[in-house]
Structure 1
Amino acid sequence: MTKKALIITGIGVVVGAIAGYLYYFYVGCSSGTCAITSKPLNSSLYGAVVGGLLLNMFVKSSKKS
């Protein structure tokens, strides 16, 4: 991966983790039975993975022949 691709993916991970925590904080799961949103760590990690994958889709790969 290039340096630009790592930066873009890293930004996605950070923004996704923040979004995951904010989702936990504002929406969450009051009963505690939800697998993802019952704990802030789970929600943040899930958001980080989704954010990283989402922004990684916009990284152009070089064509090798």
Structure 2
Amino acid sequence: MLTFFNKYKLGIIGMIVGGVLGFGYYYFIGCNSGSCTITSKPLNSSAYGMVLGYLMFSVFDKSKNKNDA
């Protein structure tokens, strides 16, 4: 378990940060009409934020080599 966290720690931290920011976007900005697909529900905006957070933070992971496929 510890090796898994060490291998993907930036991605996991990015998912946590993205989820919090996605929920914050829903809570503070959101969508009043309910027709917005991403921001109409907190689960949608949090999940979208988690995906974006993972992608943003995993870019900075330097432990992966180009030969690791």
Fold match (TM-score > 0.5):
yes
Whole-angstrom distance in 1 between the partners of 2:33 and 2:66: 50
Q: Percent identity?
A: 46
Whole-angstrom distance in 2 between the partners of 1:49 and 1:56: 11
Change (3 A) 1:31 1:6: same
- CA offsets 1:9-29 (integer angstroms, 9 cap, x no match): 000000000000000000000
RMSD: 1.4
- CA offsets 1:11-54 (integer angstroms, 9 cap, x no match): 00000000000000000000000000000000000000000000
- 5+ unaligned residues in a row in structure 1: which ranges? none
**Residue type at the aligned position of 2:27:** F
Normalised by the size of structure 1, how large is the TM-score? 0.88
**Residue type at the aligned position of 1:37:** T
